[in-house]
Amino acid sequence: MAGYANVLGSAQLSGGYGSNLMPPQAITEILQAAPKASALLTMANKVQMSAGTARQSVLGSAPDAYWVRSEPKSDSKSGMKETDLQAWEDIVITAEELAVVVPIPDNVVADARIDLWSQVAPRVAEAIGRKLDQAGIFGADMPVSFGTSLLAGAIAAGNVITRNRDIPVSTSGTGANAASTSRKSDLGEDVAEAGKRLRKQGYGISGFASAPGIEWELIGLRNGQGTPIYVPSLAAGTPSTLYGKPMGEVDNGAWDDAQASIIAADWSKVVVGIRQDIEYRIFSEGVITDAAGKVLLNLMQADSKAMRVTFRAGFVVANPLTALQKDKTKRYPAAIVK
């Protein structure tokens, strides 16, 4: 129908029979968070394994020294030099395998606007790091060969600091009339208590791992001189620091808030042995079965491919003799603030 009001607009082209004339833009970028790194692979002492098992010697006992007395002694050892022994213990690192198979039909890959395999690989790597952290830090689904997790070892040694502890402030009166007042500790004081406890056992903190969000509790805390105890990272590649030591939030999903807020450790004693780094292989032929042997997917028959990802690593915490604590059960190179 003729007239002056007949103007073809986007409403007529974007719906109905005209929808292919003005198709919506296809954005090929996926909105997603960047894959997160493993805390253990970032902070622990990584060693390359040339075999499925590796042994590392640590100091188990050290000799003492004795005065040589010239005066008579009741045990008839006057003027005699005494003997003592030094001994070593072996810690064993056993490589365990982490693996997963991710199948995708060929038609899905072909029709996708993005390279699906390049999207899968970093997410699997993140999952492997998360699984390693869950096992080594918290003991979740941990292989027997890993021994003791950081959390369990710290608890066994008594290296657990409870947040918001009562700290005595003053005492008034004497005897039956004595009364004391106290206040609650802040997070900075709790971390300092963890450091003091490790130092008395002969270990020094080299860094911290924490729950996500802890940095916001630390910002604003200052020492007695008014200096911030926590300094957030201001540049890429530069870690945040707590009391001058590197600190990283474990934001890959491995952290268990119910178990700990912060783990302080001498990370040189936390050993991750890598037998085989993450390996990616894509298969176009093969059969995927369940534990009972039932065929779930025949790649060739179903026109599919599968990415198989494997990683072999071991974990162990060394607890060598220190000059300040000779009793192995009373020392450990990690403490938790809970």
Query: For residue 329, how many C-alpha atoms fall within 13 Å in the half-sphere facing its CB?
Result: 0
Q: Does residue 21 lie in a domain region?
A: no
User: CA 294, CA 321: separation in Å to the nearest integer?
Assistant: 52
| AA identity, residue 141 | D
Q: Hey, is 267 helix, strand or coil?
A: helix
* pLDDT above 60 (res 214): yes
d(CA 40, CA 37) in angstroms, rounded, equals: 9
9: confidence class by pLDDT, cuts 50, 70, 90: very low
pLDDT higher than threshold 60 for residue 11: no
Report yes or no on 25 lying in a domain: no
Q: What is the pTM of this model?
A: 0.84
Q: Identify whether the C-beta of residue 194 lies closer than 8 Å to the C-beta of residue 229.
A: no
53 assigned to some structural domain: yes
pLDDT tens, residue by residue, 272-289: 999 999 999 999 999 999
pLDDT at 81: 83
Residue 330 lies in a domain: yes
pLDDT score for 107: 95
Banded model confidence at residue 12, pLDDT cuts 50, 70, 90: very low
Q: Which two tokens stand for residue 45?
A: 């002492």
Domain containing 288 equals: 36-63+86-337
In a domain, 81, yes or no: no
pLDDT digits (tens, 9 = 90+) for 31-63: 565 678 899 999 999 999 999 999 988 888 888
- Go through 242-253 and write b for each residue having 16 or more CB atoms within 10 A of its CB, e for each that does not: bbebbbbbbebe
The stretches of 74-211 forming alpha helices (DSSP H) are: 106-111, 116-133, 150-156, 187-200
How confident is the model over 82-131, as pLDDT tens digits?
A: 888 888 889 999 999 999 999 999 999 999 888 999 999 999 999 999 99
Residue 111 counted as domain residue: yes
Domain tally for the chain? 1
Average model confidence (pLDDT) across the chain: 88
**Residue 312: inside a domain:** yes
Output the CA torsion sign for 268, 272, 277, 279. negative
Q: Which residues pair with 58 in a beta bridge?
A: 89
Q: Rounded distance, CA 143 to CA 183, Å?
A: 42
pLDDT at 59: 84
pLDDT the model gives residue 164: 92
Q: Using CA atoms, how far apart are residues 163 and 190, in angstroms rounded to an integer?
A: 6
At 134-148, the pLDDT tens digits run 999 999 999 999 999
The backbone torsions φ and ψ at residue 108, rounded to the nearest 5 degrees and listed phi first, read -65, -40
Task: Give per-residue pLDDT as tens, 255-314.
Answer: 999 999 999 999 999 999 999 999 999 999 999 999 999 999 999 999 999 999 999 999
Nearest residue to 179 via CA among 169, 193, 192, 164:
169
Q: What is the CATH number of the domain that holds 179?
A: 3.30.2400.10
**Cα(210)–Cα(150) distance, integer angstroms:** 13
By CB atoms closer than 10 A (0-12, 13-18, 19+), residue 42 is middle
Structural domain contains residue 3: no
